């Protein structure tokens, strides 16, 4: 199934970045959350750190592009640093550093304005180099089976609220929670609506391993080497 290129994309992106290869679930836009402060990494953009000779961002895009109907980046500051991707870069519009919920809200608002044909947004952290290649399909299955509007990833006993599916028509409620209630914890908001977890095993490695420190980057390098680039 071929879908049109999202408005606002500059340059020519490879076909895999704008066309989902295995349809079978609702059209879903992917947002790469790159707005973190990276304090434990010493500052800078974590997505541009390398694992196995490739940036984490490159790994995330390579895994998600075939699963999504377009990708956007959520990042604050100078958007040109991600311009090489050819994807729209969307900043938070909630005052202050409001955390990942603000980035998710920005993505929901952008989707409603620019891709009204899409009702679902997948959010992912851009410090996770080994994301599953069946992430979107399994999250949709989880929320459909549970009869709830939201889903997140889980590996072992650990849930990953930032890596999840969000329904675009819930954006007004999310904005109220952020702006009026000053809510910052993802779990508090998702509990209002119902969230299902899709479970992945921790072996041979955690697919949601995230690199927050230089030591984590070294461990990610070792995982990529042991598992032939994972």
Give 109: exposed, middle or buried? Use CB within 10 Å, 0-12, 13-18, 19+: middle
Residue 14, pLDDT > 80, answer no
Which segments are annotated as binding site for GTP?
A: 33-35, 46, 74, 92, 127
Domain map of the chain by residue range? 15-226
pTM of the predicted model as reported, rounded to 2 decimal places: 0.87
Residue 187, pLDDT > 50, answer yes
Across residues 11-20, what is the average pLDDT?
A: 37
Distance CA 70, CA 190 (A): 24
Residue 174, pLDDT > 50, answer yes
Q: Between 46 and 103, where is the model more confident?
A: 103
Residue 9, pLDDT > 50, answer no
The predicted structure's pLDDT at residue 42: 55
Which segments are annotated as binding site?
A: 33-35, 46, 74, 92, 127
Residue 167, pLDDT > 60, answer yes
DSSP the chain: ---PPPTT--S---HHHHS-SS--S--EEEEEE-----GGGTSS-GGGSEETTEEHHHHHHHHHGGGSS-EEEE--S-GGGGGGG-S-EE---SSS---HHHHHHHHHHHHHHH-TT--EEEEEETT-TT--TTHHHHHHHHHHHHT-SEEEEEETTEEEEEEEEEEGGGHHHHHHHHHTS----HHHHHHHH-EEEEEE--SSS-TT----SHHHHHHHHHHHHHTTT-
Residue 77, pLDDT > 80, answer yes
Across residues 80-94, what is the average pLDDT?
A: 95
Q: Give the chain's mean pLDDT.
A: 88
CB 51 within 8 A of CB 131: no
pLDDT tens-digit readout, 119-130: 999 999 999 999
Q: How confident is the model at residue 44 (pLDDT cuts 50, 70, 90)?
A: low
Across residues 25-34, what is the average pLDDT?
A: 97
Q: How confident is the model at residue 228 (pLDDT cuts 50, 70, 90)?
A: confident
The predicted structure's pLDDT at residue 219: 96
Across residues 35-46, what is the average pLDDT?
A: 62
Which segments are annotated as binding site for Mg(2+)?
A: 127
Q: Does the 15-226 domain belong in CATH 3.90.550.10? A: yes
């Amino acid at each position: 199934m071929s879908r049109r290129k999202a408005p606002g994309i500059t340059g020519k992106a490879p076909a895999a970045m704008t066309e989902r290869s295995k349809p079978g679930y609702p059209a879903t836009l992917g947002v790469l959350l790159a707005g973190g402060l990276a304090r434990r990494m010493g500052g800078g953009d974590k997505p541009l750190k390398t694992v196995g000779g490739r940036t984490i961002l490159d790994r995330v895009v390579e895994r998600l592009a075939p699963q999504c109907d377009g990708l956007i980046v959520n990042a604050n500051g100078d958007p040109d640093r991600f311009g090489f991707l050819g994807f729209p870069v969307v900043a938070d519009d909630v005052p202050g550093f409001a955390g990942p919920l603000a980035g998710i809200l920005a993505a929901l608002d952008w989707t409603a304005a620019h891709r009204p044909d899409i009702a679902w947004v997948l959010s992912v952290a851009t410090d996770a180099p080994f994301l599953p290649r069946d992430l979107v399909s399994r999250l949709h299955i989880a929320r459909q089976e549970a009869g709830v509007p939201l889903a997140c990833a889980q590996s072992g006993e650990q849930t990953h609220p930032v890596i999840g599916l969000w329904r675009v028509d819930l954006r007004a409620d999310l904005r109220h929670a952020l702006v009026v209630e000053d809510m910052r914890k993802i779990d508090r908001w998702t509990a209002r609506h119902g969230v299902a977890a899709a479970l992945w095993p921790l072996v041979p490695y955690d697919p949601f391993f995230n690199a927050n420190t230089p030591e984590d980057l070294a461990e990610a390098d070792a995982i990529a080497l042991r598992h032939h680039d994972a």
